[in-house]
Amino acid sequence: MAPLAPDAGPPPPGGEGPAAGAGRAGPATGTPPRPGGAPAAPPAEEAAPAAEDTGLLAPVRAGVPAEAAVTDQAWLHAMLAAEAALARAQARLGTIPERAADTITRAAAATRIEPRLLALASRETANPVVPLVKEFTREVAALDAAAAEYVHRGSTSQDILDTATMLVTAHALRLIRGDLHRTAQALARLARTHRDTLATARTLALHALPTTFGLKAASWRQLIQDALTRTDRLLDGGLPVSLGGAAGTLAGYLEHATAADPASYTEDLTLAFATETGLATPDLPWHSLRTPIADTAAVLAFTAGALGKFAIDVQTLTRTEIGEVTEPTRPGRGSSSAMPHKRNPVLSTLIRSTALQVPALAATLFHCLLSEDERSAGAWHAEWQPLREALRLVGGAAHTAAALAEGLRTDPERMRHNTGLTQGRMLAERVAAALTPHLGRARAKALLSEAADEASRTGRTLAEALAAAGELAPHQALVGPLLDPAHYTGAAAPLVDRALPPRADS
């Protein structure tokens, strides 16, 4: 009985299952009113048409692997995988016949259950596991009536759905991790290539000091590496199975193993369930201890922000008046519906849209830590859609970021040109520091501030403004060599070396 490894994800998902729709719109003339003016309600058995979520309003994740990993179909397969894994775990301990576990596993792999039917039935049960167990038991019974008696034995809805959630989450996070690694590798290559490429550092939106483009790229990579570290920690630390029974005491499981010692049996069952799913073992049942969800939310929010930082800087550097980088192009990408000349930075735009949405989704998941009693009426249910949306948005952003980093085009000549736009004023700090031993720190800073203001106001270079300052006449020979921005990048190049791993392909 082979375990389901989360590296491989839940059983191969199909297309997006249709989600439960909102109410069905009536005809243009409106629903005929009841006496007294109240609109007539549709018949109770009449369901609204299925509303398929194609990603029309979320292009960042449309068609990417992470989107397919979290569809309704993927969640359904993961729930069935959890049911099958539980049966195999119980068979390991002799609680149910091994033949029954084999039949349940075969039925789970061959199911024909439709997610839409479960969604509609869930309106009567508040979660999809209740109707799933009913339909799945019928499918098992069609193979072996005796085996059907052991479906969901001693379990509860939250054990199955939470375990399925961890399977889906692990699969999606592994996809995200792969794309983060690609992004980090591409940014490392950019940083090495442009280790000494002169560029402008901007603070509070304005030109500040000279830097190198390599240090910019290394800084983007550092955030991506930080996201990778957090993702690795979450995955390697282990997303746990959920096994608590109806109220977190595992009483239902023990009821079917009356000869076993409660402490050892529940520990052995949890370990066997974890082994069969490839997930970790929790310290306690976590029905209302939502640490795994909160940890996932934190990782997703951080990752969205890390990707967003890269994206927003690219947006800035692609501005027409800056033009230091260009997004990778292909026919049709970045086109405008109105302006033929436009090539919009669509990749960074999509990534940034994720960075703006995911923190709010993560906040909802953190709110769900407020789960009352041993199982919550509402907080648990409120997790499902925000978690799915966060996973697929971050998955889409990571996939997009890899393409952006791998294809980003740079213009070193434009970078150098832009360092001269302030006509030497970004070297004022350096000149002030050099004059401090001669004039004192306060006076040197004041003179450079006055000269910079004069240069800005009159359109002269900083060198010309300094030459006109009589007080600096004795020091002109000192000032001249200080005004080359290429010689004032500080430790930018060594910082790149320090930030990057030694291997050229990392």
Residue-wise pLDDT tens for the chain (506 aa)?
444 444 445 543 333 333 333 333 333 334 334 334 444 444 445 666 666 788 888 889 989 999 999 999 999 999 999 999 999 999 999 999 999 999 999 999 999 999 999 999 999 999 999 999 999 999 999 999 999 999 999 999 999 999 999 999 999 999 999 999 999 999 999 999 999 999 999 999 999 999 999 999 999 999 999 999 999 999 998 899 999 999 999 999 998 887 778 889 999 999 999 999 999 999 999 999 999 999 999 999 999 999 999 999 999 999 999 999 999 987 665 555 566 565 788 899 999 999 999 999 999 999 999 998 888 889 899 999 999 999 999 999 999 999 999 999 999 999 999 999 999 999 999 999 999 999 999 999 999 999 999 999 999 999 999 888 888 888 888 888 999 999 999 999 999 999 998 865 55
What count of other Cβ atoms lies within 10 Å of the Cβ of residue 1?
15
What's the rounded Cα separation, in Å, for the pair 207 and 493? 19
> Rounded to the nearest 10 degrees, what angle do helices 492-499 and 213-237 cross at?
20
Q: Which residues are catalytic?
A: 336, 375
What count of other Cβ atoms lies within 10 Å of the Cβ of residue 184?
24
What's the rounded Cα separation, in Å, for the pair 117 and 130? 12
- Judge contact between 286 and 239, C-beta under 8 A: no
Residue 473: the pLDDT is 80
Residue 257: the pLDDT is 83
Among residues 404, 403, 305, 314, the alpha carbon closest in space to that of 359 is found at: 305
Q: Please state, in angstroms and as integers, the Cα–Cα distance from residue 298 to each residue in 50, 266, 292, 364, 396, following that order.
A: 33, 30, 10, 11, 17
Tell me, letter by letter, the H, E, C secondary structure of 303-314.
HHHHHHHHHHHH
- Judge contact between 160 and 83, C-beta under 8 A: yes
Residue 24: the pLDDT is 33
Confidence (pTM): 0.87
How far is C-alpha 212 from the geometric centre of its chain's CA atoms?
A: 29
Token pair 């570290």: residue: 229
Residue 45: the pLDDT is 54
Domains of the chain (ranges plus CATH)? 69-330+341-416 (1.20.200.10), 422-489 (1.10.40.30)
What's the rounded Cα separation, in Å, for the pair 231 and 228? 5
Token pair 């003339």: residue: 29
What's the rounded Cα separation, in Å, for the pair 195 and 495? 9
Residues in the chain: 506
Phi, psi of 207 (to 5 degrees): -60, 130
Structure tokens at 117: 């039917």
